[in-house]
Amino acid sequence: MLQRLKTDFRLSIITLLGVSAFLGVTPFAVMRFLQGNLLAGLVDTAILLTIGSALVYAWVTGDTRRSGLVVASTACGGAVVVGILVGEPGLFWLYPALVTTFFLVNPRVAVVLNVASVVALMVHGGAFRSDIQMWSFSATAFVVSACAYVFAHRNRDQRQRLEHLATVDPLTGIKNRRSMDQELDLAVANSERTGLPYAVVLLDIDHFKKINDEHGHGVGDNVLIDLVALLQQSTRKSDQLFRYGGEEFVLLLPGVDGVSLKAVMSNLQQILRKYLKHPGGTVTVSFGVALLEHGEGVDSWLARADAALYEAKDTGRDQFVFADGHSSPELVTATT
């Protein structure tokens, strides 16, 4: 539960607003029922039920976009109705709604909701004692909205940059191991649900340490970048490439069976042999390949591919080996 709140910003805002609404609105709803203001009490109750339902929906389905829109619309609409019904005291409820809209929905929708809420109160006019109070309220409401927009915009940019740093390898620009773990979990779940086959390929550059030692780390970095470029050019858009660590990479291939997978691996091997080079000559790559088995978990899947990669390295390099023990001897070349 806490982990979801830490990783899903919009869910945390929906949860915070839901809890705040329950703690802040409930006493007023009770008070209005006790005072005989039935309509205002029913409005408060409807607000609580709608926000509560959206909160439960967000937690159960993970759909924070729709639930965020419901919560933002309910908060703004409810604040307007309360302001109209109870007058000046109800106006204060609009301020927190004006701020939170920018964290619950996209900026354009938030602007529309905020402007519509303020204009609706101004058009009705019954909540204000004078024109001066009405224009003062509208001016402060727009200032609050502008400040909330700037803060939310900067906060969103910072979150995106942090997410990029946390999930993307800075050298090659592809996803890192953290992203890989998430995508493999999704692949396993999708395979169990739909029966779609998946393959994972672990690949390791042969004698990469020697390249770094003899030609420098700058050359080694260029080899990594070139490898990624060649793999991206030679795979489908649905395939995903990750940097596993150092000179090791993981390729996730959805929708491939054993026969098509051997053709894919043969093609990749030939392309890398032909185009992947460094100042000292050709660079070769070893591959470990594993098809996802029914009921298998990510750890077992990766472990089988890793064992196949070790076999490829131990038996001559520059080859691909399947986790079921079937290698490609006709494609094996001498160790470089």
Catalytic residues: 247
Angle among Cα 141, 146, 148 to the nearest 5 degrees reads 95
Distance of alpha carbon 44 from alpha carbon 81, whole angstroms: 10
208, 245 Cβ separation under 8 angstroms: no
Q: How far apart are CA 96 and CA 16, in angstroms?
A: 12
* Cα atoms in the Cβ-side hemisphere of radius 13 Å centred on 202: 24
